């Protein structure tokens, strides 16, 4: 089987990688995210899912606890009443995040738990004890179910167990065996499933719609359409690739866990999801829950606040199994239109900010205004002074001549030429600028 680094990512399976990343991060932070991968046989659904076992981070548990009890939050019948000091005495160990599988032929006892026949038949000290099943042993990890549509069709008792485990976050299971007290424990398990809807008994939503709705996201995996991609899948270079992508991916999950509460959906995103639910008559509220979780975790993985693009991406897979394809396309088109409007608004805001940045600051503006006022005052005074001197070339002589009472009337001489009408004059002859008047 190929390891994670050897799997070629292409347009047909990229979305499954992205959604599985969301689920692993959710499991690491204490929130199960359930994934259903659909697609034709041979498209690599099961190969990709099983390869993720390598990139799962390690977790801490109380030493030797088969229920994988978190030291800070024990839940099993043996440890849930212990104090932190008592847990410290027992010790803490680091283990790989659980990754277990349920086959189509599995029975109820192997899935949830049954009587431990080895202990009850012991000759030295027989005792009635519980042998844990797959789901409780996978607490804080992953359970993979291949051909989930077959199980839904032939094993209704296992479907009932899955409904309990996936009904809430975390889910709950109840173990009932003759001779043992009824045991009910919380389980924090992400269910991953795969199926081929084109083969009998058909798509999961047509078999058990209730179980289909329990999955947060449904992803359609398609075959590669590029010959170069196909050549890369079967090339020797891929088989000999160094397993560096595995280490890097695990680091990304641990980093996202640290950032999980830094990047949350805004109130605008919450209002948008609520309006989609109401306006399009979406049946299940689990869509809103899945979309809020998905956008939050995707923001932590991408190290940024969730935006409209994340809503579009998450909605595509949160509604694929919950509404008709026609309605899904209408919803996605509506979101794309909102995205365009938001983009236009952001561009206009950026343009106005750039224009404001081009203007001088308030100090420069005030200095410029002061200089303008100074120059205008000086210019006005000089202009008037020169204008008066033009019409009164010798003010002192005019004064003295006016004081003499015997001075004769000034002689008035007519201009040497006859005055011309305005329409025959050039504009420069009767329109003067300030510079012409000052000269």
pLDDT digits (tens, 9 = 90+) for 99-120: 999 998 899 989 998 876 666 6
Query: Considering only CA atoms, which of 40, 64, 21, 435 is closest in space to residue 249?
Result: 21
Q: What is the pLDDT of residues 188-205, one digit of tens each?
A: 999 999 999 988 899 999
How many CB atoms neighbour CB 30 within 10 A?
14
Within 10 angstroms of residue 95's Cβ, the number of other Cβ atoms is 14
Give the integer Cα–Cα distance in Å for 304 and 310.
11
Separation CA 166–CA 158 (nearest Å): 12
Domains and CATH numbers, the chain: 4-57+97-258 (3.40.50.300), 261-347 (no CATH)
What is the model's pLDDT at position 330? 96
Residue 26: other Cβ atoms inside 10 A? 26
The crossing angle, in degrees rounded to 10, of helices 14-28 and 286-302 is: 90
The 3-state DSSP class for residue 294 equals helix
- Is the preceding peptide bond at 220 cis, omega within 30 degrees of 0? no
Preceding omega of 77 cis (within 30 degrees of 0): no
Q: Provide the 3-class DSSP secondary structure of residue 214.
A: helix
- Residue 55 pLDDT > 60, yes or no? yes
Residue of higher predicted confidence among 44 and 372:
44
**pLDDT beyond 60 at 359:** no
Quote the pLDDT of residue 3: 84
The more confidently predicted of residues 349 and 277 is: 277
Whether residue 389 has pLDDT greater than 60: no
Question: Has residue 371 got a pLDDT over 80?
Answer: no
What would the DSSP string read from start to end of 288-313?
HHHHHHHHHHHHHHHTS---HHHHHH
Are residues 394 and 400 in contact, defined by beta-carbon separation less than 8 angstroms?
no
DSSP 54: G
> Residue 61: which of 46, 76, 49, 50 has the closest Cα?
76
Helices (H), 52-107: 84-90
Backbone angles phi, psi at 180, to 5 degrees: -125, 145
**Tally of residues, the chain:** 439
| DSSP track, 128-193 | --EEE-HHHHTTTEEEEEESHHHHHHH-HHHHHHHHHHHHSSSEEEEE--TTS--EEEEE-EEEEE
* 313: three-class secondary structure by DSSP: helix
Instruction: Report whether 144 contacts 99 (CB < 8 A).
Output: yes
pLDDT of residue 199: 87
Mean predicted confidence (pLDDT) in 150-179: 90
279 CA to centre of own chain: 22
pLDDT at residue 283 is higher than 70: yes
Q: How many CB atoms lie within 10 A of CB 35?
A: 25
Rounded average pLDDT over 239-264: 87
Could you count the other beta carbons within 10 Å of the beta carbon of residue 220? 20
Q: Which residues, other chains included, contact 351 with Cβ-Cβ below 8 Å and sequence gap of 6+?
A: none
């Amino acid at each position: 089987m190929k390891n994670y680094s050897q799997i070629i990512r292409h347009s047909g399976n990229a979305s499954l990688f992205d959604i599985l990343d969301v689920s692993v991060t959710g499991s690491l932070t204490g929130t199960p995210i359930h994934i259903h991968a659909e697609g034709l046989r041979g498209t690599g659904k099961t190969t990709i899912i099983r390869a993720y076992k390598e990139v799962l981070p390690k977790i801490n548990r109380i030493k030797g606890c088969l229920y994988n009890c978190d030291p800070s939050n024990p839940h099993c019948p043996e440890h849930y009443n212990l104090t932190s000091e008592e847990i410290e005495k027992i010790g803490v160990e680091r283990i790989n995040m659980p990754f277990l599988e349920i086959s189509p032929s599995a029975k109820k006892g192997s899935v949830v738990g049954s009587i431990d026949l080895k202990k009850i038949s012991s000759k030295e000290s027989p005792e009635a004890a519980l042998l844990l099943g797959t789901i409780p042993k996978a607490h804080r990890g992953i359970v993979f179910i291949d051909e989930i549509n077959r199980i839904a069709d032939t094993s209704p008792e296992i479907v009932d167990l899955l409904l309990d485990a996936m009904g809430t976050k975390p889910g709950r299971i109840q173990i009932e065996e003759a001779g043992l007290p009824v045991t009910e424990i919380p389980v924090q398990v992400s269910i991953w499933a795969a199926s081929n809807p084109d083969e009998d008994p058909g798509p999961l939503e047509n078999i058990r719609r209730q179980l289909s709705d329990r999955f947060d996201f449904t992803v359609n995996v398609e075959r590669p359409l590029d010959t170069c991609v196909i050549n890369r899948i079967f090339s020797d270079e891929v088989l000999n690739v160094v397993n560096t992508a595995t280490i890097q991916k695990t680091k990304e999950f641990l980093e996202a866990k640290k950032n999980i509460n830094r990047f949350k959906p805004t109130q605008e995103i919450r209002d948008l999801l609520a309006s989609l639910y109401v306006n399009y008559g979406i049946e299940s509220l689990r869509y809103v829950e899945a979309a809020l979780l998905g956008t939050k975790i995707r923001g932590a993985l991408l190290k940024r606040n969730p935006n409209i693009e994340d809503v579009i991406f998450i909605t595509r897979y949160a509604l694929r199994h919950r509404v008709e394809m026609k309605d899904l396309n209408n919803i996605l088109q509506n979101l794309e239109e909102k995205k365009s409007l938001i983009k236009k608004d952001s561009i206009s805001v950026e343009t106005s900010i750039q224009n404001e940045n081009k203007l001088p600051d308030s100090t420069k503006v005030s200095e410029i205004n002061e200089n303008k006022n100074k120059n205008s005052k000086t210019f006005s005074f000089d202009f008037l002074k020169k204008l008066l001197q033009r019409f009164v070339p010798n003010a002192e002589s005019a004064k003295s001549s006016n004081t003499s009472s015997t001075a004769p009337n000034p002689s008035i001489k007519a201009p040497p030429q006859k005055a011309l009408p305005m329409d025959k004059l050039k504009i420069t002859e009767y329109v003067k600028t300030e510079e012409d008047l000052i000269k």
